[in-house]
Amino acid sequence: MKTAIPINKKLFDIYLLFTREPFVQYFSKELEFYSNGNGGLIGLISLDYTDNDYYGCILSRDKSKQYRAELITASVETIEEVRNWIDDEMSSNSIVFHDNKHEYFDLFKNLNNEEKQHPNYKLLNTNIALSMAKETIKEVSYHYKDIGNFIDQFQSINGFDARVWELFLFCFFREQFFSFKRNFNSPDYMIEKFNQEIAVEAVIVSRKTHLESEPKEADEIQKKLDNDIPLLFGNALFDKMKMEYWKKEHVKGKPFLIAIADFHDTMSMTWTFNALSDYLYGYKYEHSFDKEGKLIVKPVKIGNYTKPNGTKISSGFFFQPNSENVSAIIFSSCGTLSKFNRMGKQAELGSNIPTLIRMGSFYNHDPNADKPHLVSYPVSKDSNETWSEGTVVFHNPNAKIPVNPAFFDDRVAQCFFENKFIHSKMPKYFPYNSFTQNLIPKEEKE
């Protein structure tokens, strides 16, 4: 081919995640992806399920830097004909390149606010080690409809973590084939699937200090998991409950979900998963093995947690007054900059200099397993992480308006509570936590 260069499907998916409508998957299958070399034009070849023939599309960026269709050919009998069409059109002068000098949603706009910037924002904006995340976030943000002062908050000390979490959720819901309705300021998302709407409010357990702290020792972590972390989750969730979003006219009669992430300390999201589950359902689980080596699990009811002032707080969020208005809680330990960096790396966005090594604890599907799988791998174009990987939906057994589990596909973990036990539907790959090591050759640092 003279002009059209094959590109990574994962790169195409980032470019087009919010451009293509979810329903397209039911009528066609995307087969091949192309670029003219500088990203000004991208091309797509798809198989039409209805007629069993092919169509091609060439897209360029509009003034908001979103890709839009410029030329389309359909009902083509062979894939080779479409390849030739894409190559010929990309090398011709008939395509109008949109002017990118117009304003667009620029999260990295210079606001002359360096003294107010979050340390991680500064790293994201300037450090080659996070260039993959930066380019991925830029592509995602071109599609984000700002309904407030999102850019200022994204750069700020008090807003950065929460805005990263919201951008992650934006990607997660779209990958799960939801459409967005951005007509209201709150809750954060009104999403639609199967002609049904869901309301979602995002919240984080935020940092008390933005200074980096040393990783916790195992004993200290366990002590926090037994009492302090559930209280942190509870404070964040009840703050959102006070808003009574379910009473808003555009939310009434629809499932209402709270999506929560933990940013309260350095790498805290890698070790607080169990504390949230314990707090939501009010049970811990002890395990042993019988003589045949079969795993035996025993539920143990949790009583109260104790605040520093001595106040007792009940466990079991889903059993507290008003919690029946919350259909489910969404959680992920992966909605962080590292996720954006890995997704960018496997899409070949950003610099190719850093080497990323991902290490984590993944769900073990052996029915008698009492320990997770420990996984380590280099992140590359051959990796297949998704936005959904690492996300879990905790369903409320007492919800007035339950959320349909079918809204989420098999890449998402889902938990249900019945007769003192949590019954989990687990994906093939589910990280409880992961850590990404970012390696840069010494000569590149000098």
Checking if the pLDDT of 194 tops 90, the result is: no
| SS3 of residue 346 by DSSP | helix
**CB contact at 8 A, 430 and 362:** yes
User: For 142-198, where are the alpha helices, taking DSSP H only?
Assistant: 150-155, 160-175
CA 331/CA 228 separation, integer angstroms: 18
- Does pLDDT of 45 surpass 90? yes
In whole angstroms, what separates CA 151 from the centre of its chain? 19
Dist CA 280 CA 57 (whole Å)? 47
- For 410-445, what is each residue's pLDDT tens digit? 999 999 999 999 999 999 999 999 999 999 987 665
pTM above 0.85, yes or no: yes
Task: Round to whole Å and give the CA distance between 437 and 66.
Answer: 32
Taken as a whole, the chain contains a residue count of: 446
Q: Predicted confidence band at 188 (pLDDT cuts at 50, 70, 90)?
A: very high
User: What percentage of residues in the chain have a pLDDT greater than 90?
Assistant: 78
Main-chain phi, psi angles of 371, to 5 degrees: -140, 150
Q: Cα(12)–Cα(30) distance, rounded to whole angstroms? A: 10
Does position 113 have pLDDT exceeding 80, yes or no?
Answer: yes
Q: Which of 435, 202, 216 is nearest to 331 (CA)?
A: 202
pLDDT for 444: 64
DSSP bridge pairs for 421: 418
Q: Which of 9-23, 147-161, 207-221, 389-403 has the lowest mean pLDDT?
A: 207-221
Average pLDDT, the chain: 91
Rounded to an integer, the average pLDDT of 384-406 is 98
**Average pLDDT value for residue range 320-340:** 96
What is the model's pLDDT at position 144?
87
Domain ranges within the chain, ordered by starting residue: 5-90, 114-439
Q: Is the pLDDT of residue 446 over 90?
A: no
**Does residue 389 surpass a pLDDT of 80?**
yes
Residues 134, 150: Cα–Cα separation, whole Å: 16
Say what the pLDDT of residue 430 is: 96
pLDDT digits over 2-42, tens only? 789 999 999 999 999 998 887 788 899 999 999 988 778 99
Centroid of chain to Cα 358: 17
